[in-house]
């Protein structure tokens, strides 16, 4: 390989590769172990997220150094100053590092740590917050997807479109005469998705596993498969169902996983969600579907604010308790969606079908499921229909359009795909 090629390769690695510490099988940093940190090994009741400034410096060119300087291969993307500060903090406070990674859009190097024995997390965070070297110190937090775990479980090998309540109630078929979401890419931040499902063949553009290296679990995850089917299940294939935006493409970011407990819902944490949002910042994806939620989180809030500043349209599910005061609903500009019911929705919150929704399941299956996760998926699909017609739309105009075009269906006021698309087309015709 030529010297120039080596330089280019080195720069590509230094600028783009994720920094992840090698860990032992117990989830703690190892000595040269090639094992990969799994998010499930982290403890949201114990661990913290710590960030320091990450100023990128030119690689060392002293004799004996490599093209990448002296940064260990497991920590590419982290500046020497950031690594030195982080190591000093570890020694000073007795922290055990579980995983670390750079977040270039925020200029930070972040790591997940286990506090030392005998130290309470709250006291440690207060102390770290007063340390001038620390840019951010917060708990590692858990998040959950919003789907009822006790939904009915009939299985359909030969389902019909008229069984899809959301598809029918939003008049999606009528909207498809004008738009099917072609050319729009939607990021699904969720569990994994069954990539082999016949309804999703050709619909998934790329996948990213930010939890572990378990490809089998990725394809077997129900929640992400359900959301993906609602958004973009293939149409006119003589089987199954039809997505709200059947010509849109999906980018799947697995940030949530299922604990090994029967009947437990999927969970996520600050670490996995931050990696997903940071990765999306490096893409041109316009729509981000977050059918999940949890407590307010400073790091995730910063990342989501950057996505919104870049013109991304973020669709989020309202928590089951109806209080949109945590992540991601607490970030201004996020489009919050609840399951349509008889009660009046909070100001600015959209209502969409989310009860007994027929959608895809792993293993070529179909099933009914319920929750605001499904309501958010319907809205993400409708937004794709709108952006295919008018790519210049921003989140404010999309929310206003969906609120203004909502219709009463089955006695409930909820978003209507056909009305939104037709209203958009009419507005564009009348624009000089």
340-391 pLDDT, tens digit per residue, is 998 999 999 999 999 999 999 999 999 999 999 999 999 999 999 999 999 9
Position 2 pLDDT exceeds 50 = no
Q: Could you count the other beta carbons within 10 Å of the beta carbon of residue 76? A: 18
Tokens of 155: 């299985």
Copy the structure tokens of residue 5: 């090629």
CA distances from 237 to 170, 182, 184, 202, 351 (A): 21, 17, 20, 12, 30
Is residue 380 part of the annotated active site? The answer reads: no
Residue of 171, 142, 53, 102 lying closest to 409 (CA atoms): 171
pTM comes to 0.82
List Cα–Cα distances, 293 to 146, 191, 324, 390, in angstroms: 8, 13, 9, 29
CA distance 47 to 112: 7
Whether 190 is catalytic is: yes
| Active-site hit among 47, 185, 190, 297 | 190
Clarify whether 208 is annotated catalytic: no
Contact in structure between 395 and 335 (CB atoms under 8 Å): yes
Mean pLDDT of 66-95: 75
Most confident of 51-55, 69-73, 384-388: 384-388
Residue 68 pLDDT greater than 80, yes or no: no
Contacts of residue 147, defined as CB under 8 A and 6 or more positions apart, other chains included, come to 223, 226, 265, 291, 369, 370, 371, 373, 374
Least trusted range by pLDDT, from 22-36, 105-119, 262-276, 366-380: 22-36
Write out the two tokens for 120: 């309470």
Q: What angle do CA 380, 385, 389 make, to 5 degrees?
A: 135
Catalytic residue among 373, 405, 406, 409: 373
35 confidence band (pLDDT: 50, 70, 90):
very low
């Amino acid at each position: 390989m030529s010297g120039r090629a080596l330089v280019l390769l080195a720069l590509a690695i230094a600028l783009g590769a994720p920094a992840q510490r090698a860990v032992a099988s117990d989830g703690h940093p190892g000595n040269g172990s090639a094992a990969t940190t799994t998010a499930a090994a982290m403890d949201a009741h114990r661990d913290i997220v710590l960030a320091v400034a990450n100023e990128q410096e030119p690689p060392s060119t002293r004799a004996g150094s490599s093209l990448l300087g002296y940064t260990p291969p497991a920590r590419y993307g982290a500046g020497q100053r950031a690594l030195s500060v982080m190591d000093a903090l570890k020694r000073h406070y007795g922290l055990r590092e579980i995983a670390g990674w750079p977040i270039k859009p925020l200029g930070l190097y972040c790591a997940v740590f286990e506090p030392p024995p005998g130290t309470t997390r709250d006291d440690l965070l207060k102390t770290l917050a007063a340390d001038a070297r620390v840019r951010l110190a917060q708990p590692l937090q858990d998040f959950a997807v919003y789907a009822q775990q006790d939904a009915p479980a009939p299985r359909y090998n030969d389902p019909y479109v008229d069984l899809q309540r959301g598809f029918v109630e939003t008049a999606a078929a009528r909207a498809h005469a004008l738009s099917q979401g072609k050319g729009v890419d939607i990021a699904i931040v969720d569990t994994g998705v069954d990539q082999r499902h016949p309804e999703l063949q050709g619909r998934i553009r790329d996948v990213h596993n930010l939890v572990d290296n378990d490809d089998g679990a990725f394809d077997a995850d129900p929640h992400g498969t359900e959301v993906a089917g609602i958004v973009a299940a293939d149409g006119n294939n003589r089987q199954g169902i039809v997505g709200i935006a059947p010509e849109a493409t999906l980018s799947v970011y697995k940030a949530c996983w299922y604990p090994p407990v029967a009947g437990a819902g999927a969970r996520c944490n600050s670490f996995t969600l931050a990696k997903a949002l940071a990765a999306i910042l490096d893409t041109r994806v316009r729509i981000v579907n977050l059918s999940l939620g949890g407590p307010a989180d400073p790091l995730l809030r910063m990342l989501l604010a950057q996505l919104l500043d870049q013109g991304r349209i973020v669709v989020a599910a309202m928590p089951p308790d109806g209080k949109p005061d945590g992540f991601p609903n607490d970030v201004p500009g996020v489009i919050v969606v609840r399951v349509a019911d008889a009660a009046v929705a909070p100001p600015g919150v959209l209502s969409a079908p989310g009860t007994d929704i027929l959608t895809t399941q792993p293993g070529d299956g179909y099933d009914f499921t319920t929750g605001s996760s499904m309501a958010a998926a319907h809205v993400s699909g409708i937004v794709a229909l709108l952006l295919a017609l008018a790519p210049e739309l921003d989140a404010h105009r999309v929310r206003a359009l969906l609120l203004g075009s909502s219709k009463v269906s089955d006695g409930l006021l909820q978003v209507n795909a056909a009305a939104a698309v037709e209203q958009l087309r009419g507005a564009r015709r009348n624009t000089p």
